[in-house]
């Protein structure tokens, strides 16, 4: 759903729904910054009846944020906030609120529907740059037939997995839309725990489809392996010539494959950096990296 706003009109909002596949936009919306402050509403510490007592609400929120920040170039900074209601569509307050509170403003977002969560994103329609995003969980969660339901973190049957809902909504906070890939966390529907006798924890983890989408917006996590250096041709004694048209290929290979490589009689292979690392102490099954450079 796209809303046109009155002044200050520099931002539009999009309300991403947890289960409504109709929320599509032609805008590529994303954050321009890589560090995003997330305000944990006081409601996370004292949730209402929509969450099963004893659930690890704050832990689920933190783990959900880490799911995304661990694989994309995004850092979340958690702050505490006394706020409990998300910003109205008519204007944001600059705070990215994560709330589970039962307030009229939050309830209005769901209209007694069965949607598990919603994320309201404020962005510049000219650039797609997100200025604010608020996440709210349904304070009166109900099934399609009106039965009251709860969120939980322990896999209780006939409850929704809270952490999975958080991971999905944080995807929207980052600007991701719904995915058509059924195994993805960003697909539009969330199953109840106990469906087919299984806990519905798969939404806690990201599929390859989720990873590709978020990395297309922000790039891979900066803590992932990096290769840096200068490539020169030193084949002529005393001179180094910068190389052009060079492709660098890198892979991580399991220990056993690597050991096989090193056992060859190829002197070049034995002298390879990877082969020397073989003798370093470390876990037996550690993965070792190998780099090859192709010229031309
Ligand atoms: Zn959704």
* Domain residue ranges in the chain: 2-218, 225-295
For the ranges 23-37, 211-225, 248-262, the maximum mean pLDDT occurs at 211-225
Lowest-pLDDT choice from 60-64, 168-172, 285-289: 285-289
Distance CA 16, CA 113 (A): 14
Neighbouring residues of 179: CB distance < 8 A, sequence distance ≥ 6: 186, 187, 209, 210, 213
* 1: confidence class by pLDDT, cuts 50, 70, 90: very low
Q: How far apart are the CA of 49 and the centre of ligand 1, in A?
A: 22
Fold of 2-218: Collagenase (Catalytic Domain) (3.40.390)
Q: How far is the CA of 79 from the centre of ligand 1 (A)?
A: 24
pLDDT at 176: 94
Quick check: helix, strand or coil at residue 98?
A: strand
- Please answer whether residues 231 and 295 qualify as being in contact, where contact means their C-beta atoms are separated by less than 8 angstroms: no
Q: How far is the CA of 188 from the centre of ligand 1 (A)?
A: 5
Residue 170 Cα to ligand 1 middle (Å): 9
Going from the Cα of 112 to the center of ligand 1, the distance in angstroms, rounded, reads 17
The alpha carbon of 189 and the centre of ligand 1 are apart by a number of angstroms equal to 8
| Cα 288 to averaged position of ligand 1 atoms, centre (Å) | 38
User: What is the spatial distance between Cα 148 and Cα 142, in angstroms, rounded to a whole number?
Assistant: 4
Least confident of 76-80, 113-117, 135-139, 258-262: 258-262
Which of 217, 182, 218 minimizes the C-alpha distance to 203?
Answer: 182
Contact 200, 97 (CB under 8 A): no
How far away, in angstroms, is 190 Cα from ligand 1 center?
A: 9
Q: In the numeric block, which tokens belong to residue 190?
A: 């969330």
Q: Is the pTM of this model over 0.85?
A: no
CA distance 186 to 290: 34
Q: Which residues pair with 97 in a beta bridge?
A: 39
Q: Which residues pair with 120 in a beta bridge?
A: 15, 134
Tokens 């600059």: give the residue: 94
């Amino acid at each position: 759903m796209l809303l046109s706003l009155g002044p200050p009109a520099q931002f539009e909002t999009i309300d991403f729904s947890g289960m409504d596949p109709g929320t599509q936009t032609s805008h590529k919306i994303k954050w321009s910054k890589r560090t995003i402050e997330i305000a944990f509403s006081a409601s996370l510490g004292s949730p209402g009846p929509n969450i099963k007592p004893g659930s690890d609400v704050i832990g689920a929120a933190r783990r959900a944020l880490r799911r995304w920040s661990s694989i994309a170039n995004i850092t979340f900074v958690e702050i505490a906030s006394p706020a409990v209601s998300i910003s109205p569509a008519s204007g944001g307050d600059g705070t990215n609120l994560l709330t589970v509170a039962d307030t009229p403003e939050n309830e209005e977002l769901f209209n007694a529907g069965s949607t598990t969560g919603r994320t309201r994103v404020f962005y510049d329609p000219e650039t797609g740059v997100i200025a604010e995003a608020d996440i709210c969980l349904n304070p009166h969660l109900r099934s399609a037939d009106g039965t009251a339901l709860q969120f939980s973190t322990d896999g209780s049957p006939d409850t929704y997995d809270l952490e999975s809902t958080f991971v999905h909504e944080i995807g929207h906070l980052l600007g991701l839309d719904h995915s058509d890939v059924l195994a993805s966390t960003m697909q539009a529907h969330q199953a109840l725990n106990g469906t087919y006798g299984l806990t519905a924890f798969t939404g806690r983890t990201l599929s390859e489809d989720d990873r590709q989408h978020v990395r297309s917006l922000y790039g891979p996590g900066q803590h992932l392996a990096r290769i840096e250096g200068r490539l020169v041709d030193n084949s002529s004694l005393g001179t180094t010539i910068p190389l052009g048209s060079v492709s660098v290929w890198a892979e991580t290979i399991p220990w056993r494959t690597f050991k096989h490589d090193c056992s060859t009689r190829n002197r070049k292979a034995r002298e390879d950096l990877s082969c020397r690392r073989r003798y370093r102490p470390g876990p037996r099954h550690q993965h070792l990296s190998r780099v090859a450079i192709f010229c031309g």
